[in-house]
């Protein structure tokens, strides 16, 4: 019987040596014949560093002393499962990979097997030394519970080798005896192959981060320093995440600043357009001002003041799809928002819902460039369809007569927020679409001067002239004294008009109080409109209107 056991052990060892790809040709061969950088200077046996045929745990013939029991475990604000201390199979791996136990310290030898000086343990700084801090590594020993949103179906991990229990272990992803796929992985990791067996992300298959064939142009930092793959689609999850030794607090992101995970590709060296350069312009969404990682489950009503790339883009669902106003573009797929009724929506359908998420009130992410008579309490409210006038972002406007509109715009048109707030080079070849940054504040696609006493030109009011014909405006076709106000008195468009909307007046009238003061003796700043025209009570540019009557619009 004893002879049979010895034969069985020998056959088992031979099977491990020559199964799939031989362990002899991997870094787990720590003998003097090993191919890796770390190996013994005296030991010729291969299996002894992990296994022994006698006097060991008979389940796996284990020959090592376990490592630390004082591990820092992974956690995140969106984690539904519970992380427990490493299980039995993971502890076997960590007996080498936490860097606390000598590689040559085996149970069936009276003295540790000799290694070169400084190599008796996996040295600190090596990616294979996970240390006792497992908080920056993919969680192990998870309770498997299907994620209620379907974003993470942990039961999928059961298709991987997970040892004798139902929990995720190191051996769920790594086979210590086979290196067919590199890094001892149990499945081909290219294009997220191993990640997708557990992480079933909504919309991922159509996402640009899953399908893009863009490659790195070898300029700037290497976006994929730890893989041999050369395209976005091949790196897939590895574009942003690293299962071991990441720098961020949560979600295994490669970089602690959220935008840096985007810039490594969106700097013109992988993605076609340079978003990083746009964000450096004088007016931008200041993602660099906030260091916290964005939480995918946060609700705008309760979140801290911040802006990050993923407030507007879901990297797992982003596509190249186009749409017409007010519907979202493919780049905004899967992003939450606030609708026109100030109600949170987990998946925005309309672009303005994403903008309202931050710009619904004056205390979050809003800077005003004009002091208005009717105080601007909420940008969301300025676009309310119950207002007497508003720019047609949420719905078509209420004014049935706007002769200055340039085709194809009509009084029934709906526009995007980004028709005005966008990159100043969006109209030129290679321009980046979206409100990332502009040389014109506040992130305007073209210049708009907010102050008076400037000589009218096509350039200083270029933003308005994108939709409203300059000749029509200056010939008084729309309003009988446009030319007088704009050319002769050199008043800005924004001195009379609020481009978002007006709570109390038609024609977007909401006066700039830097130039408009109460009329005398009435003490009024007021605009009244009717079917035949309108009248103003105010003082402006030294003239007292008490009231001033205007003809038809």
Tens-place pLDDT, residues 362-418:
555 556 789 999 887 788 999 999 999 999 999 999 988 899 999 999 999 999 999
Q: Note whether 490 and 452 are within 8 A (CB).
A: yes
**Residue that the structure tokens 């696609």 belong to:** 445
Q: Where are the domains of the chain?
A: 395-553
The pLDDT > 90 percentage for the chain reads: 65
Work out the pLDDT band at 152, boundaries 50, 70, 90. very low
Query: What was the pLDDT predicted at 368?
Result: 77
Q: Note whether 233 and 191 are within 8 A (CB).
A: yes
Query: What was the pLDDT predicted at 146?
Result: 46
The total number of residues written for the chain in this structure: 553
The pLDDT > 70 percentage for the chain reads: 87
How large is the average pLDDT for residues 166-177?
86
Beta pairing partners, 493: none
**Residue that the structure tokens 């199964």 belong to:** 19
Beta pairing partners, 544: 539
CA distances to 289, 312, 356, 357, 537 from 337, in Å:
22, 9, 7, 5, 40
Pair of tokens at residue 339: 């609708």
Closest CA to 307 of 394, 366, 382, 249: 366
Pair of tokens at residue 69: 């029991």
How large is the average pLDDT for residues 139-145?
72
**Residue that the structure tokens 């936490």 belong to:** 98
Q: Note whether 409 and 251 are within 8 A (CB).
A: no
Closest CA to 421 of 502, 489, 358: 358
Is residue 148 reached through a cis peptide bond, with omega within 30 degrees of 0 on the bond before it? no
Per-residue DSSP letters for 171-191?
Answer: HHHB-TT--TTSTTBSS--GG
Distance CA(534)–CA(553), nearest Å, equals 8
Full-model pTM: 0.87
Position with higher pLDDT, 515 vs 149: 515
Per-residue pLDDT at 149 exceeds 70: no
CA distances to 246, 262, 480 from 267, in Å:
21, 8, 49
Reduce the DSSP state of residue 209 to 3 states and report it: helix
Query: What was the pLDDT predicted at 482?
Result: 94
Query: What was the pLDDT predicted at 7?
Result: 40
Pair of tokens at residue 44: 């010729």
Strands 337-338, 437-438: pairing kind: unpaired
Average per-residue pLDDT in the chain? 87
Distance CA(325)–CA(309), nearest Å, equals 22
């Amino acid at each position: 019987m004893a002879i049979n056991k010895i034969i069985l052990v020998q056959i088992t060892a031979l099977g491990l040596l020559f199964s799939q790809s031989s362990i002899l040709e991997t870094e787990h061969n720590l003998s003097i014949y090993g191919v890796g950088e770390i190996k013994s200077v005296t030991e010729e046996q291969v299996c002894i560093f992990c296994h022994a045929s006698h006097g060991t745990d008979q389940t796996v013939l284990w020959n090592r002393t376990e490592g630390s029991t004082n591990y820092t475990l992974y956690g995140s604000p969106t984690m539904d499962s519970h992380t427990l201390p490493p299980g039995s199979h993971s502890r076997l791996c960590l007996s080498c990979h936490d860097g606390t136990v000598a590689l040559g310290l085996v149970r069936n030898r009276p003295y540790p097997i000799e290694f070169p000086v400084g190599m008796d343990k996996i040295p600190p700084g090596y990616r294979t030394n996970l240390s006792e801090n497992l908080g920056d590594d993919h969680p192990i020993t998870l309770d498997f519970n299907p994620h209620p949103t379907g974003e993470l179906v942990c039961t999928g991990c059961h298709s991987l080798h997970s040892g004798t229990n139902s929990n995720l272990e190191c051996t769920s992803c790594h086979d210590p005896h086979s290196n067919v796929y590199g890094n001892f992985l149990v499945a081909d990791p290219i294009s997220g192959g191993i990640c997708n067996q557990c992480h079933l992300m909504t919309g991922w298959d159509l996402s640009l981060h899953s399908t893009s064939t863009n490659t790195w142009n070898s300029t700037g930092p290497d976006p994929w320093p730890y893989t041999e793959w050369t395209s976005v689609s091949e790196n897939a999850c590895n574009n942003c995440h690293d299962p071991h030794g990441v720098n961020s607090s949560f979600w295994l992101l490669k970089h602690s600043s959220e935008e840096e995970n985007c810039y490594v590709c969106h700097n013109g060296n992988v993605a076609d357009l340079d978003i990083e350069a746009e964000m450096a312009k004088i007016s931008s969404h200041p993602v660099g001002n906030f260091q916290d990682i964005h939480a995918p489950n946060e609700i705008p009503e309760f979140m801290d003041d911040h802006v990050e790339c993923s407030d507007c883009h879901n990297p797992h669902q982003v596509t190249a799809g186009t749409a017409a106003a007010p519907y979202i573009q493919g780049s905004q797929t899967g992003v939450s928002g606030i609708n026109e009724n100030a109600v949170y929506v987990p998946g925005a359908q309309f672009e303005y819902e994403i903008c309202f998420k931050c710009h619904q009130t004056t205390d979050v992410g809003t800077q005003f460039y004009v002091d208005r008579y009717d105080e601007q309490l909420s940008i969301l409210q300025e676009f309310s369809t119950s207002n007497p006038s508003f720019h047609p972002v949420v719905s078509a406007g209420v004014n049935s007569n706007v002769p200055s509109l340039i085709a194809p715009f009509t009084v029934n048109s709906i526009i995007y927020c980004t028709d005005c707030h966008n990159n100043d080079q969006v109209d030129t070849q290679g321009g980046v679409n979206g409100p990332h940054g502009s040389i014109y504040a506040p992130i305007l696609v073209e210049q708009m001067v907010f102050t008076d006493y400037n000589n009218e030109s096509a350039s200083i009011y270029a933003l308005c002239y994108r939709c409203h014909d300059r000749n029509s405006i200056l010939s008084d076709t729309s309003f009988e004294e446009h030319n007088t106000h704009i050319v002769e008195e050199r008043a800005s468009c924004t001195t009379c008009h609020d481009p978002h909307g007006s709570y109390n007046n038609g024609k977007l009238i909401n006066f700039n109080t830097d130039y408009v003061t109460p009329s005398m003796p009435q003490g009024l700043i007021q605009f009244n409109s009717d079917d035949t025209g309108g009248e103003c009570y105010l003082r402006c540019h030294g003239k007292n209107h008490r009231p001033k009557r205007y003809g038809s619009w």
